[in-house]
């Protein structure tokens, strides 16, 4: 079950706050959204329905508080809402099996996994996060191992 | 069912660390060896450098398993709830299942056990409910084989400083280079009056035995080495075995059972293998030999002994006194993290482990045993993010991102393999319901370590905190230990050595009691697992057992 365009918009807006851009690229510039969408169609396909539902719920929370979907909120309101959900303070009813903080924590993990893993995973374009922190695997260009 | 003619003297099940050593020793002694390995013989390029799928962080898979779904296990948690688990999950208690075994991607710490690690019950007594016991083998018995392992596998170390156990011959390779963090920790240890030295690692610090030196990359533990400087049996004894022309290695060969006759003698094995080397189609085969060696690692060797039950041995081979699969142990690993002072010059080069203390392996007041403590391998960014950022930091947003760039090179942590106080209830049995790809019952892992282990682990955790604080770490944190089953990468103990058949599965040389020609050369033999990483001891025992078999034949 793929995400709807609205759910993808909520996902991207959320990622943009979880790992924002500053003097270094953030999650969106690094392609972390695509990494997550890829994971949700393959290794984590079983999680897709509940994540999709939670992204809709994220918009519902934003609408309940500010009459706007999450992606349309000002940054400060987005951050405040993430903080509230991280502490399970909700204005709408979330599924008991996957409460708001479970959803936020899962997305925090997924975002970091994409953003800080090797670029071949697709969420760390040009190794931008590695350059930011001063990491390079220093693998020889011509490995001599058989 | 096709049958292979009995053209072999010895069949070895598992081409991992211990199996590879047995193959080398026996083929060089003139025996015709068949080595059956369920994994593949992976080249460097076959083992992906995926930071989310390797053997230290296997979130969505790992980088060696050839069939991620066909060989589950069942894990029973301390509350008694069971579930089916797959190789990349922590509760599977995996080691790499490939030619070379765990050592294909290991951290290379190559420690001898302490002499008192072989006599734990004599030194400390046996706590109620535990199966803490002495080995029927002493340090002195094993010392010549430790030396062989160090020389023939290639261990780098500081001979003079590594003095917690007597040793005759220097290491064949100079120790890994000193690091600024190591020097900083050494000053901390000196303040506390503790010993501290460069730990022994099975790595080519210079070219050795025809292979290149380590180039100090930053993608070490859990991955294949780009220069093949990571030493194990796969690049030493195994190629030596193959070079004799007397050793045949068959990969993707999954042994299903050991065949025994009415007298208990093992006469062959049954295994599944691809019909042709690259085929997806498998067939069942039988092969015969005069000697059979089990080397599948502590979980799979126990499973095979149980799967090989027969009319004469309804409880499984070597299981007349109900020890097969019991005493499953690994190491408890307290991890203490902290921050190096701001501005600390940290080149962050591999392998990374560069200083250790053996101050707390024994002699801790009111505590049974202890652990060696060492700093850790170069950290991947995602592992640092997951486990080594200060716990009071926000997990997201600009503050988190900023902390990653300011703190990544300031991360430091100490950890140590705490000697477990084994429990007979921590065990491998056969699951009654779940079957593997070939229809065989899978391993069921249940029980926990003995609670005494927690006391030792907490003591060691406090010492690691002392060390980081004395060194001047800016912030020091760690988490308390909980009671659970610990086997995993250091899995051991499931076919324990015992002089008396009532006390264990194998005799002091690793021969299965009651089965004259059936032997074990893997971590299953370890009665206790030392306060050190176990692989050098597994190798030394494999050298000793294989030498014994060669002398008998
Ligand atoms: C990431 C990592 C880091 C490690 N770092 C260290 C370290 O620094 N120091 C240290 O001392 N130890 C370390 N270890 C542990 C070390 O690798 C193991 O202790 C060691 O490999 C165990 O040797 P073994 O012979 O008992 O089993 P293994 O090496 O696991 O070999 C068993 C082999 O048998 C095969 N097999 C199993 N069942 C069957 C069957 N039915 N038929 C055919 N083949 C079968 C398996 O595929 C495997 O290849 C590390 C392990 C890992 C995974
Ligand atoms: S640090 Fe050295 S031993 Fe480790 S993988 Fe890199 S080159 Fe190999």
The pLDDT score that the predictor gives to residue B6 is: 64
- Sequential pLDDT tens for chain A (146 residues): 689 999 999 999 999 999 999 999 999 999 999 999 999 999 999 999 999 999 999 999 999 999 999 999 999 999 999 999 999 999 999 999 999 999 999 999 999 999 999 999 999 999 999 999 999 999 999 999 99
From the alpha carbon of B533, which atom of ligand 1 is closest?
Answer: 11
Average model confidence (pLDDT) for chain B?
97
Q: How far off is chain A from B478, nearest CA to CA, in Å?
A: 20
Residue B5 in this model has a pLDDT that exceeds 60: no
* Torsional sign, CA A89, A90, A91, A96: negative
With CA atoms as reference, report the closest residue to B374 among B204, B512, B198, B218. Answer: B198
The B82-85 sheet, strands edge to edge = B82-85, B73-76, B441-446, B427-435
For the stretch B310-326, what's the b/e string if a residue is b when 16 or more beta carbons lie within 10 angstroms of its beta carbon?
Answer: eeebeebbbbebebbbb
From the CA of A133, how many Å to the nearest CA of chain B? 4
- Residue B553 has a pLDDT of 77
Q: Which residues of B34-58 are buried (b: 16+ CB within 10 A; e: fewer)?
A: bbbbbbebbebeebbbbbbbbbbbb
The label of the residue with tokens 């921590």 reads: B426
**Is B398 part of the contact surface with chain A (CB cutoff 8 Å)?**
yes
What is the rounded distance in angstroms from the CA atom of residue A69 to the CA atom of residue A64? 9
Contacts of A17 in chain B (CB under 8 A): 396-397
B396 interfacial to chain A (CB closer than 8 Å): yes
Show the tokens assigned to B142: 């094993």
Nearest to B524 by CA among B16, B46, B111: B16
How far apart are the CA of B374 and the nearest CA of chain A, in angstroms?
Answer: 22
Residue to test with chain B: of A20, A79, A108, A137, most B Cβ within 10 A: A137
Distances (CA, A) of B174 to A103, B171, B199, B208, B242: 50, 7, 11, 11, 29
Q: Using most ligand atoms within 8 A of CB, pick from B308, B352, B489 the residue to mutate for ligand 1.
A: B489
d(CA B518, CA B521): 10
Helix (H) or strand (E) holding A77: helix A75-86
The answer, yes or no, to whether residue B16 has pLDDT greater than 70, is yes
Q: From residue B415, give the alpha-carbon distance in Å to each of B211, B360, B391, B418, B462.
A: 30, 12, 18, 9, 11
B203 lines ligand 2 (CB under 6 A): yes
In this prediction, residue B514 carries a pLDDT of: 96
Q: What is the pLDDT of residues B314-369, one digit of tens each?
A: 999 999 999 999 999 999 999 999 999 999 999 999 999 999 999 999 999 999 99
The reported pLDDT for the residue numbered B552 is 86
Cα A145 to the center of its chain, rounded Å = 37
Question: Mind listing the pLDDT tens digit for each residue in B519-550?
Answer: 999 999 999 999 999 999 999 999 999 999 99
Domains and CATH numbers, chain B: 5-552 (3.50.50.60)
Which band of pLDDT confidence, cut at 50, 70 and 90, is reported for residue B1? Answer: very low
ipTM given for this complex: 0.98
The rounded percent of chain B whose pLDDT value lies above 90 is 97
Q: What is the pLDDT of residues A17-49, one digit of tens each?
A: 999 999 999 999 999 999 999 999 999 999 999
Measured distance CA(B59)–CA(B37) in Å, rounded? 25
Of A43, A135, A145, the CB nearest to B381: A135
Cβ–ligand 1 distance for B35 under 6 Å, the answer: no
| Block residue for tokens 């300031």 | B410
pLDDT recorded at residue B277: 84
Instruction: Kindly report, residue by residue over B268-286, the tens digit of the pLDDT.
Output: 999 999 999 889 899 999 9
| pLDDT of B3 over the 50 cut | no
Touching check for A121 and chain B: CB below 8 Å? yes
The CA A30 to ligand 1 mean position distance, Å, reads 37
Smallest CA-to-CA distance from B518 within B3, B12, B4 is with B12
B45's tokens: 């390029």
**Ligand 1 centroid from CA B101, angstroms:** 4
pLDDT (tens digit, 9 = 90+) per residue, B103-120? 999 999 999 999 999 999
């Amino acid at each position: 079950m793929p995400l709807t365009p609205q759910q993808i918009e909520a996902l991207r807006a959320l990622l943009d706050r979880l790992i924002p851009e500053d003097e270094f690229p953030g999650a969106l510039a690094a392609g972390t959204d695509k990494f997550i969408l890829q994971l949700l169609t393959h290794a984590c396909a079983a999680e897709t329905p509940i994540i999709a539902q939670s992204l809709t719920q994220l918009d519902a929370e934003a609408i309940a508080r500010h009459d706007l979907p999450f992606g349309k909120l000002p940054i400060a309101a987005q951050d405040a809402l993430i903080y509230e959900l991280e502490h399970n303070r909700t204005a709408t009813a979330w599924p008991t099996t996957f409460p708001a903080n479970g959803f936020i924590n899962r997305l925090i993990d997924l975002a970091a996994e994409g953003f800080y893993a090797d670029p071949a995973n697709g969420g760390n374009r040009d190794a931008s996060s590695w350059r930011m922190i001063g990491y390079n695997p220093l693998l020889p260009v011509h490995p001599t191992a058989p | 069912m096709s049958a292979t003619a009995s053209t072999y003297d010895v069949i070895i099940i598992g081409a991992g660390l211990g199996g590879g050593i047995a193959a080398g020793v026996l083929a060089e002694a003139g025996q015709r060896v068949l080595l059956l390995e369920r994994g593949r013989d992976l080249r460097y390029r076959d083992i992906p450098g995926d930071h989310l799928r390797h053997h230290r962080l296997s979130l969505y898979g790992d980088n060696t398993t050839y069939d991620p779904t066909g060989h589950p296990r069942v894990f029973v948690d301390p509350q008694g709830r069971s579930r089916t688990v797959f190789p990349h999950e922590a509760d599977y208690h995996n080691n790499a299942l490939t030619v070379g075994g765990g050592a294909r991607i290991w951290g290379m710490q190559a420690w001898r056990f302490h002499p008192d690690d072989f006599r734990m019950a004599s030194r400390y007594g046996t706590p109620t409910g535990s199966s803490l016991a002495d080995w029927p083998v002493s340090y002195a018995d094993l010392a010549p084989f430790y030396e062989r392992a160090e020389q023939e596998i290639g261990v780098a170390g500081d001979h003079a400083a590594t003095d917690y156990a007597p040793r005759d011959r220097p290491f064949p390779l100079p120790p890994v280079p000193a690091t600024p963090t190591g020097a900083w920790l050494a000053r901390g240890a000196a303040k506390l009056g503790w010993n501290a030295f460069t730990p022994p690692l099975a790595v080519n610090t210079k070219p050795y035995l025809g292979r290149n030196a380590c180039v100090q990359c930053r993608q070490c533990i859990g991955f294949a080495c780009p220069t093949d400087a990571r030493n194990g049996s796969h690049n030493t004894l195994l190629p030596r075995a193959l070079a004799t022309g007397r050793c045949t290695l068959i990969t993707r060969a999954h042994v299903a059972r050991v065949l025994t006759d009415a007298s208990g003698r093992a006469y062959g094995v049954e295994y599944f293998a691809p019909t042709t080397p690259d085929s997806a189609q498998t067939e069942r085969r039988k092969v015969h030999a005069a000697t059979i060696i089990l080397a599948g690692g502590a979980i799979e060797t126990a499973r095979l002994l149980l799967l090989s039950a027969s009319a004469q041995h309804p409880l499984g081979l070597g299981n007349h006194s109900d020890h097969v699969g019991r005493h499953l142990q690994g190491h408890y690993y307290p991890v203490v993290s902290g921050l190096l002072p701001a501005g600390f010059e940290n080149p962050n080069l591999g392998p990374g482990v560069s200083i250790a203390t053996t101050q707390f392996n024994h002699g801790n007041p009111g505590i049974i045993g202890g652990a060696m403590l060492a700093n850790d391998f170069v950290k991947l960014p995602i592992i640092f993010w997951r486990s080594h950022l200060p716990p009071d930091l926000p997990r997201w947003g600009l503050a988190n991102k900023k902390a990653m760039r300011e703190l990544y090179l300031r991360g430091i942590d100490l950890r140590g393999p705490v000697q477990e106080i084994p429990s007979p209830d921590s065990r491998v049995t056969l699951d009654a319901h779940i079957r593997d790809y070939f229809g065989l019952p899978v391993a069921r892992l249940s029980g926990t370590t003995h609670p005494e282990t927690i006391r030792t682990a907490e003591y060691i955790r406090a010492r690691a905190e002392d060390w980081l604080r004395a060194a001047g770490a800016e912030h020091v944190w760690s988490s308390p230990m909980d009671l659970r089953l610990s086997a995993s990468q250091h899995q051991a103990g499931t076919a324990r050595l015992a002089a008396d058949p009532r006390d264990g599965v194998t005799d002091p040389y690793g021969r299965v009691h009651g089965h004259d020609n059936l032997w074990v050369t893997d971590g299953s033999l370890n009665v206790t697992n030392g306060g050190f990483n176990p692989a050098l001891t597994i190798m030394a025992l494999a050298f000793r057992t294989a030498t014994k078999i060669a002398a008998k034949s």
